[in-house]
Amino acid sequence: MEMGMKIDLPPAATEPRDPSRTVPDGDPMVEIDHLRFYYSGKEAVKDVTLNFPKHKVSALIGPSGCGKTTLLRCLNRMNDLIDGVSHTGTIKISGLEIYESGHDVTELRKRVGMVFQKSNPFPKSIYENVAYGPRLQGIRKRSTLDEIVERSLKGAALWEEVKDRLGESALGMSGGQQQRLCIARAVAVEPEVLLMDEPCSALDPVATGKVEELLFSLKERYTIVIVTHNIQQAARVSDVTAFMLMGNLVEFGAARQVFTTPRDSRTEAFISGRFG
């Protein structure tokens, strides 16, 4: 999993926030402990305990309705926006409990960026899409914003394709470019964790390949958690893989182990396409 495109990133325009600097690479960055999550009393995530290691790609796989997207959305409290939800258990990100009362959700979402299934660029220029987050953080200086935009677009392997048309509307880009723009937008605020919910499901194989290659370079700076329905994609890009079924965590381990010697027969049946 060490292969892949390496991108030379220019130095950060501002000193990146890194409260996680005490977490060594590979150690738990996201710690989920006995998490149970309910939609109007119905248990969607059942007593899940697992850790996502720092600066690795972790994949969540499982059939539709298994709770993997719910679990992902717990990590930046996206589920808070839904009525009737409740949970027990804890989730810590670089050691901080994110559901603790008084925890600033806006601050959390700066630390935990998200890329969705369908690219959703703002109806603004390419430049403004990327500069949007840093502007909200109060960065006004043009040269600093320029540096952030260039660094983020390079980080998303998009710079060479768009550097001469940064002022054009993002809506004129191809689907694959739009998705990489959303990744650039997410990394512009230097999150610690990047959540990806089926980021390639609307992309063609070429664009999918570009996003997958991108993950190899992004994980050097970010901890990535990806939900995918594409088993082969999980096998290609993830360092660790979690298989969920009906809200339960069935198996969690190194991707090379899960995909070559799964311990649970249900995992084997799912990844080999014999059910699900």
Contacting residues toward another protein, per CB under 8 A: 26, 28, 50-51, 53, 56, 231-232, 235, 239-240, 252-254, 257, 259-263, 267-268, 271-274
Q: Please say which residue, 159 or 270, places its beta carbon nearer to another protein.
A: 270
- CB of residue 227 vs another protein: minimum separation in angstroms? 18
In the complex, minimum distance from the CB of residue 186 to another protein, in angstroms, rounded to a whole number: 25
Q: How far is the CB of 229 from another protein (least distance, A)?
A: 15
Whole-angstrom distance, CA of residue 127 vs CA of residue 119: 16
- Taking the least distance from each CB to another protein, the nearer of 179 and 223 is 223
Contacts of 65 (CB under 8 A, 6+ apart): 246
Q: How far is the CB of 232 from another protein (least distance, A)?
A: 5
Q: CA 258, 204, 131, 69 torsion: positive or negative? A: negative
Tell me the closest approach of the beta carbon of residue 204 to another protein, in angstroms.
18
Cβ(218)–Cβ(154) below 8 Å: no
Which residue, 88 or 232, has its beta carbon nearer to another protein?
Answer: 232
Question: What is the rounded CA–CA span in Å between residue 256 and residue 239?
Answer: 8
| Minimum distance of another protein from residue 272's CB (angstroms) | 5
Q: Which residue has the tokens 């990394």?
A: 187
Rank residues 111 and 236 by Cβ distance to another protein and give the closer one: 236
Q: Under a CB-based contact definition with an 8 Å cutoff, are residues 172 and 138 in contact?
A: no
SS3 of 94-161: CCEECCCCCCCHHHHHHHEEEECCCCCCCCCEHHHHHHHHHHHCCCCCHHHHHHHHHHHHHHCCCHHH
Which residue lies nearer to another protein by CB, 181 or 255?
A: 255
Q: Which is nearer to another protein, 14 or 265 (CB)?
A: 265
